[in-house]
Structure 1
C-alpha cells in the first residue's frame, strides 16, 4: 500500500501523519475543507495547511460532498479517515452539524466504497475515548462498574466525583476496549456510530479496518484558534493574553494526554501491521493527569502570573475520568508511548511562545454554551 488518502488531512493529527508518511516514501492525498474553526479566517495561510502544501496532493473539498469523495478515492490503497467535527461541549447543541459530518460523511465514504470500483484495501478510523462515556470504575466491593452520567443537580451542589447508587466513592480504572460503550455527549455518540458503520460495511465487502480510540492528543502545531477543544491550547492562549484560567468543576477531573508524535507512530503502525487488521485499539498513555495540574504546569512554563480560578462551573456531557488500557496496543502494534507528558509540555510551550498572540474567542464560546444551557454554575 503506497497511495494513502487522509480525510481531514490538513488538521492537527492528519497533517502530522501525512508528513511522516511522505518521509517514509508514501504518496499522500489529502481531502480537507479547511474549516475556519481550526484554520482561521484565512485558512490558506494557516500553519497546519502550509506544513503540507506542495508535499501532498491536496484537494479542498468536503467529506459530505459525493463528487469530492468520489474523486479522491480513485487510485487509493488505504484511507485514514480523520474528517470530523470534534468537541464534546459544542456537539450538545450543534447536533445536525455533527451528525452531517461525522455520521453522514462516513456513510457517504462507505457508500462509495461499496458502489464504486476502487483499490482500497484498508481503512483506519480515528475514533475517540468519548465512546466510553464515563469509562470503567471499581466499587468498594472491588467489582468493575460502568456508572451513568453525573446528575446536574448533584454537580450544582459541588459533588463531582463518581459514586454508586449508595453514594459510595468509585475508583477510576484504565478503560479497556471491552468496556461498556455509553457516550455521554453527542460527539461520542457520532463516533460510536462511525465505528459501527465502518465495522459492518468493511466486514461485508472484505476491506480490512482498524478503529483507533484516541485519548487527548496534544503537541507542537496544535491549532490555537479552536475554543471548543484542546485544553492545552485553550489554556495557553488565555495565559499568554494575561487572562485568568477558569478551571471547571474542582479541577481534579483527569484526562489521558498523548503526544502527537506517539499518536502518529501508532496510526502508521495500524496502517502497516497486519496484526492490527479488523481490530479496535485504544491509543493513549495509560496515565491520568488532572486538569488543575495541567494549568499549574502551563502557568509555570510560561512564567506568567495569571490567576487560576477553580470555579465549580461544569459542562453537561463532560466526563470525570478516563484513561486508556494499552494492553491491545502493546500486543497488536508493539506500541509504547515514548514522549512523557512533561517533555511534551516543554516542547509544546516552547513552540507556543514563538507563535503570534491571538484571540481564540473563548468567552464567546462559553457564553454560547451558557445560553444553550450546557454550561452550568
Structure 2
C-alpha cells in the first residue's frame, strides 16, 4: 500500500462524480485503502457498474443543494469530480453552468457549513487555452476557449475564494488528458485514446481533425488518482493549484501510431476537417510544483499506459464498440 493510501483508512469520504472514469478509479483506491466512501453521481456519463463493491451509491446531482448538504454533513473529506464534459458543455452551456459552477458552489457551501477537513476540486488543463509558452506553469495566463474551460476555471476560482474568504481547506488539481483502463469506448463522451483503440482494432482508419500535429500531455489514470489523493493529505496543498500531467508533449499523430504499437496492428491515419472544439494547438504542463509540494511523480510512461489500456480494452470486450468522432481533448 502506498503512503497516500495509508492515510484514508476508516475515513468517511464523499466522491462526487464517482461513477465516472477517474472518479470510479479514485473510489476503488479509497475503498481498497479502507475508507468509507459515498458516491454521488447523476449517471449523465457515468455508469453504476463502475462503482466498486464497498462504496455506497446515491444517484443524484450536485445541483440538488439539499442532497449535497446532507451528504457532505455525513463525511469529513470531499473529492469533487462531478462535471459536464467538454462536448456536453458546448452543446448545452446552461446545463454546464448549472452543474460545473452551481454544483461546485453547492459543494463548497455545504463543506463550509459542515467544516469538512478538505475539498479537493478536480479541474482541467483546458483553462490555459492556447499557452504563450511550453511547458505551462500553474500561474501562467489563463484564456479558457470553451464553455467547459470557462466553467471549470469558475469552479476552481470558487474553491480558492472559499479558502481565502472563509478558511475552507481546499486544493485543486488540473488534469491533463487522463486516459487508461476504465475509460469505456461505448461512452459517446470518452476520450481520443478509447476511440482510437476501437478503430485501430477494427482495422478502420483513425480519423484526426486537422493535420494531427496538435499536441497534448497524456496522463495515465493511476498517476492522476495518486496526485488527487495526495492533494487531500499534504499540508502544503491547502489553497493551492497543481498541474497533473507528465510534462511530455505528444502529437495526435504520434498518439495514433503509439496505439497501433500497443495493439500490434498497422494503423492508417485519415486527416479530416478541423473543428472549432479542437482550437488548442499545443498543451503540455509543468509538473514541478506537484513534484515539490505533493511529493508526486508520474510513474507510467505513455507506451506502458497504452499497452495496459489496450490489454484492458480487449479483455473487457469493447472491440466492437461503435466508433465516435475523435478529438484531441
Same fold (TM over 0.5): yes
Aligned to 1:211: 172
What does residue range 1-12 of structure 1 map to in structure 2 within 5 Å? 2-12=11-21
Aligned to 2:116: 120
What does residue range 314-333 of structure 1 map to in structure 2 within 5 Å? 314-316=275-277, 318-333=279-294
Instruction: Name the CA distance, whole Å, in 2 between partners of 1:91 and 1:111.
Output: 23
Alpha-carbon spacing, 1:246–1:83, altered in 2? closer, same or farther (3 Å):
same
- Is 1:86 the counterpart of 2:85 in the alignment? yes
Distance apart, 1:229 and its partner CA:
4.0
Aligned to 1:101: 99
Q: Conserved in 2, the CA contact under 8 Å of 1:82 and 1:125?
A: yes
Query: Unaligned 5+ residue runs, structure 2?
Result: 1-7
Instruction: Name the CA distance, whole Å, in 1 between partners of 2:323 and 2:98.
Output: 25
Instruction: Name the CA distance, whole Å, in 1 between partners of 2:119 and 2:111.
Output: 11
Q: Conserved in 2, the CA contact under 8 Å of 1:255 and 1:290?
A: yes
Aligned to 2:298: 337
Aligned to 2:161: 200
Query: Once the two structures are superposed, what CA deviation does each residue of 1:164-183 show, in whole Å capped at 9, x if it has no partner?
Result: xxxxxxxxx10001100110
- Is 1:264 the counterpart of 2:225 in the alignment? yes
Q: Conserved in 2, the CA contact under 8 Å of 1:184 and 1:317?
A: no
Q: SS of the counterpart of 1:16?
A: helix
| Equivalent of residue 228 in structure 1, options 189, 193, 197 | 189
Instruction: Name the CA distance, whole Å, in 2 between partners of 1:301 and 1:98.
Output: 35
> Which runs of structure 1 show a deviation greater than 6 angstroms over 4 or more consecutive aligned residues?
none
Could you state the TM-score of these two structures normalised by the residue count of structure 2? Answer: 0.90
| Equivalent of residue 34 in structure 1, options 39, 43, 47 | 43
Instruction: Name the CA distance, whole Å, in 2 between partners of 1:97 and 1:299.
Output: 37
Aligned to 2:245: 284
Q: SS of the counterpart of 2:211?
A: coil
Distance apart, 1:300 and its partner CA:
3.2
Aligned to 2:324: 362
Q: Conserved in 2, the CA contact under 8 Å of 1:106 and 1:194?
A: yes
Q: Conserved in 2, the CA contact under 8 Å of 1:124 and 1:271?
A: yes
Instruction: Name the CA distance, whole Å, in 2 between partners of 1:354 and 1:32.
Output: 27
What does residue range 102-181 of structure 1 map to in structure 2 within 5 Å? 102-114=100-112, 116=113, 118-137=114-133, 173-181=134-142
Distance apart, 1:184 and its partner CA:
1.1
Matched residue count: 317
Query: Unaligned 5+ residue runs, structure 1?
Result: 138-172, 367-377
Q: Over aligned residue pairs, what C-alpha RMSD do you find?
A: 2.0
Q: SS of the counterpart of 2:315?
A: coil
Could you state the TM-score of these two structures normalised by the residue count of structure 1? Answer: 0.79
Query: Once the two structures are superposed, what CA deviation does each residue of 1:284-311 show, in whole Å capped at 9, x if it has no partner?
Result: 0000011111111222332445532122
Instruction: Name the CA distance, whole Å, in 2 between partners of 1:94 and 1:358.
Output: 29
Query: Once the two structures are superposed, what CA deviation does each residue of 1:117-165 show, in whole Å capped at 9, x if it has no partner?
Result: x24121100000011111232xxxxxxxxxxxxxxxxxxxxxxxxxxxx
Q: Conserved in 2, the CA contact under 8 Å of 1:227 and 1:360?
A: no
Instruction: Name the CA distance, whole Å, in 1 between partners of 2:116 and 2:293.
Output: 22
Alpha-carbon spacing, 1:322–1:11, altered in 2? closer, same or farther (3 Å):
same
